[in-house]
Amino acid sequence: MATTLKDLGWKPFFQAQLDHDDTDSLTVARITARHRTQVIAATQHGEIPVPLQLLDGCDDVAVGDWLVLDAVTQRARRRLDRQSYLQRKAAGETVKSQPIAANIDTLFIVSSCNQDFNLSRLERYLVLAIEADITPVVVLTKADLCDDPAALRQQAERLHSGLIVETLDARDERQAGENLGHWCGPGRTVALVGSSGVGKSTLAMALGAGHIDTAGIREDDDKGRHTTTSRAIHRLAAGGLLIDNPGIRELQLPACEQGVSDLFEDVTAWFGQCKFR
């Protein structure tokens, strides 16, 4: 997948955690996919499968995590501290978080210019990104099928001060590169989130991620079908890495007090000044 750790997204933040280790006996690897019985880990020498039983106390790993493996046995010694961690509340009544991805630089929040466009849903994604200290970029796809995509873009921009919103046709490789290539350079990691059918996989392919299966949407309500069923890291044409996530139909927030406070700062600024508590 890559020839250097920097190609895989290695940064000084992670290197500082190895300064006192015997690096000759270690292999540093980044999780590129997680399956039921194993994870796929990318090293400087290629990808290797690591059975879950070799993760020991690191079994909570997410795609994007960095592991320190024993160079001989490939048993995980530890998971490196995360620079960022994106998670959501698992569906259902159980209070449990579900990992989305780790060590992301930029989150592409993808929505389409049709019935999927929903400001409340965009706000929830923004809260997750802000809470995780990840730069959010809203990407409005299928702009070619909308009479007034500029109006939707303006609505999204008003959700948060300084929020970047891009409108495009996800099938257009040139347009995708021009609008989003800035965040996809060497050593950078981006992730895609959004509902099924908004064009995440199509956008990933336009950015150079290789072939990913896609499917059409239902004509009556613009709902999509799940074609991406697991999270995985792809190399991009611009040199960066992209984590393609399955469509999220039910987005519930975990504990995100800071993210909510930052997103709705125009409201929280008035807390304490109300006449009635």
CA distances from 228 to 74, 125, 148, 213, 247 (A): 29, 19, 29, 7, 7
Q: Report CA 73 to chain centroid distance, whole Å.
A: 31
pLDDT digits (tens, 9 = 90+) for 76-131: 999 999 999 998 776 555 556 788 899 999 999 999 998 889 999 999 999 999 99
- Check residue 6 and report its DSSP letter: G
pTM strictly above 0.85: no
pLDDT digits (tens, 9 = 90+) for 204-260: 999 998 887 654 444 454 454 444 446 889 999 899 999 988 755 555 555 445 544
- First-to-final CA distance of the chain: 56
